[in-house]
């Protein structure tokens, strides 16, 4: 359980909140490049960490992330004209460039023009690793872009998708660091629709539903090893990575690896940026086709939006007849099952009434660390982690071996795990 005040601290991410400030020390993925297809494209509304913004690409192709509301009389720049290196508010014609400077004030005569005194709020943006990233923190703390393994690979090695969760970021993220639920929530009597990696993982999950978890704190977050007893075959070890503030790297016995970022739109809504990647080879067409089905760890979305096709309005595709026959949920798709359960808790789960067990130790550790870091920052202690881009480059592994302890697993597979030097 968590005291209500700690739950508030964990979940609230708007401007001025301790957790919101912590998120504002990181570059965060915010859009996919297709949302801003080219110079002078249509402006797009962007809500991030509880702030309403406008994104556009100017005539030179530079990305602008501006306060949605015009600093004159607060009209929405969403209705603005994107023209000649700036966005023009259509109410009285004030124009702003990607750096937030007011470059024209056509409703004032030259002697009363005060455009040089007007700036609008703007944030830095960068294209990196297949996403558009935004940095919303203080300029003097702006870090280098995070060197996730997939961000450094050629685009052919990865498949990426953005989708909506109607719940707080941490609620969704706690599913990522909860290996135990896979045995139960994702159980079915037919794994043939899954990718080879997920099907192989699922077979292990069914053999032992009481994994032992061992968490190791690190500079970048933590990793934990979950040990499942497979009898004669030895142990299945999954080493899952939590990379600050809300990134998971989830292993499977076969590539691709899944990396997901849970990015708060606001306190009650989240965009997930999911990257499936193969560090050793380009993704095959077959792998891409499978990921597009929505049966795996990313859903299909309604064309032209990021809303999953199966969602609360259609009970996530629940079919009670299917549920009776051997599927735990009667719902199609791994992420769909995850999302149904996460959203079923309400937008911000009441953690005061939980009863946590040993299978929840990784969740407890992540909450503690995030709350402590947010408190530290509020007390003036800045996090160092975002400033070291190499710390983001760790990998997760899923191996079956006779090794009985996590330390030896880590030592044996240290190269594959890409852990930073101690």
H/E segment holding residue 6: helix 4-11
Question: Within positions 80 to 99, which residues make up the interface with ligand FES, using CB under 6 A?
Answer: 89, 91-94
Give the one residue of 31, 54, 65, 70 binding ligand FES; rule: CB under 6 A.
Answer: 70
CA distances from 262 to 170, 317, 342, 394 (A): 8, 23, 13, 18
- Interface with ligand FES by CB under 6 A: which range of 67-75, 239-247, 274-282, 360-368? 67-75
Q: What is the DSSP string of 133-147?
A: EEE-S-GGGPPPPP-
Choice between 2 and 89, CB closer to ligand FES: 89
Among Fe ion, ligand FES, none, residue 81 binds (CB under 5-8 Å by kind) = none
Among Fe ion, ligand FES, none, residue 142 binds (CB under 5-8 Å by kind) = none
CB of 123 to ligand FES, least distance (A): 19
Residue 186 CA to residue 252 CA, distance in Å, equals: 15
Among ligand FES, Fe ion, none, residue 91 binds (CB under 5-8 Å by kind) = ligand FES
CB of 101 to ligand FES, least distance (A): 14
10 Å Cβ neighbour count for 294? 22
Choice between 70 and 342, CB closer to ligand FES: 70
Interacting residues toward Fe ion by CB under 5 A: 338
Residue 166 CA to residue 268 CA, distance in Å, equals: 6
Of 347, 252, 364, residue with least CA distance to 297? 252
CA atoms in the 13 A half-sphere facing the CB of 156:
5
Give the one residue of 3, 45, 73, 142 binding ligand FES; rule: CB under 6 A.
Answer: 73
Choice between 78 and 413, CB closer to ligand FES: 78
Residue 130 CA to residue 209 CA, distance in Å, equals: 36
Among Fe ion, ligand FES, none, residue 282 binds (CB under 5-8 Å by kind) = none
- Interface with ligand FES by CB under 6 A: which range of 21-29, 70-78, 275-283, 287-295? 70-78
CB of 119 to ligand FES, least distance (A): 14
10 Å Cβ neighbour count for 358? 11
Place of tokens 């690896």: 257
Among Fe ion, ligand FES, none, residue 70 binds (CB under 5-8 Å by kind) = ligand FES
Among Fe ion, ligand FES, none, residue 389 binds (CB under 5-8 Å by kind) = none
Q: Check whether the bond before 18 is cis (ω within 30° of 0).
A: no
Choice between 74 and 312, CB closer to ligand FES: 74
Among ligand FES, Fe ion, none, residue 338 binds (CB under 5-8 Å by kind) = Fe ion
Choice between 76 and 206, CB closer to Fe ion: 206
Q: Is the dihedral of CA 64, 67, 72, 73 positive or negative?
A: positive
H/E segment holding residue 360: none
Q: Which residues are within 8 A (CB) of 108 and not within 5 positions of it... i.e. 6 or more apart?
A: 114, 115
CA gyration radius for the chain?
A: 23
Residue 200 CA to residue 69 CA, distance in Å, equals: 50
Interaction between residue 121 and ligand FES (CB under 6 A) = no
Residues at the interface with ligand FES (CB under 6 A): 70, 72-73, 75, 89, 91-94
């Amino acid at each position: 359980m968590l005291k209500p005040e700690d739950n508030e601290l964990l979940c609230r991410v708007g401007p001025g909140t301790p957790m919101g400030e912590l998120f504002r020390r990181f570059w965060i993925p915010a859009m996919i490049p297709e949302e801003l297809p080219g110079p002078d494209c249509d402006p797009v509304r962007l809500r991030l960490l509880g702030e309403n913004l406008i994104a556009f690409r100017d005539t030179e192709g530079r990305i602008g992330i501006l306060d949605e509301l015009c600093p004159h009389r607060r009209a929405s720049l969403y209705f603005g004209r994107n023209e000649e290196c700036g966005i023009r508010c259509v109410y009285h014609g004030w124009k702003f460039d990607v750096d937030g400077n007011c470059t024209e004030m056509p409703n004032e005569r030259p002697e009363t023009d005060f455009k040089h005194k007007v700036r609008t709020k703007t944030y830095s943006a960068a294209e990196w690793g297949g996403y558009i990233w935004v940095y919303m923190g203080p300029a003097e703390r702006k870090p280098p872009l995070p060197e996730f393994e997939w961000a450094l690979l050629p685009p052919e090695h990865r498949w990426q998708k953005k989708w909506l969760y109607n719940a707080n970021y941490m609620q969704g993220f706690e599913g990522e660091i909860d290996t135990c639920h896979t045995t139960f929530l994702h159980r079915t009597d037919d794994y043939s629709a899954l990718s080879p990696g997920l099907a192989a993982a699922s077979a292990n999950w069914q053999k032992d539903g009481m994994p032992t978890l061992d968490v190791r704190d690190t500079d970048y977050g933590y990793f934990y090893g979950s040990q499942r007893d497979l009898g004669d075959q030895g142990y299945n070890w999954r080493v899952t990575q939590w990379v600050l503030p809300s990134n998971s790297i989830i292993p499977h016995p076969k590539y691709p690896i899944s990396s997901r970022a849970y990015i708060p739109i606001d306190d009650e809504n989240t965009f997930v940026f999911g990257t499936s990647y193969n560090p050793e080879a380009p993704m095959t067409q077959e792998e891409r086709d499978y990921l597009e089905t929505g049966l795996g760890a990313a859903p299909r979305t309604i064309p032209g939006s990021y809303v999953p096709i199966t969602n609360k309005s259609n009970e996530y595709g629940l079919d009670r007849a299917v549920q009776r026959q051997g599927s735990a949920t009667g719902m199609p798709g791994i992420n769909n099952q995850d999302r149904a359960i996460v959203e079923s808790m309400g937008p911000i789960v009441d953690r005061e009434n939980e009863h946590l067990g040993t299978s929840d130790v990784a969740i407890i550790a992540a909450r503690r660390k995030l709350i402590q870091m947010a408190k530290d920052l509020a007390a003036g202690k800045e996090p160092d982690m975002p400033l070291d881009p190499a710390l983001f480059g760790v990998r997760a592994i899923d191996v079956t071996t006779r090794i009985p302890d996590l330390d030896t697993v880590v030592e044996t597979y240290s190269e594959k795990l890409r852990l930073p030097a101690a």
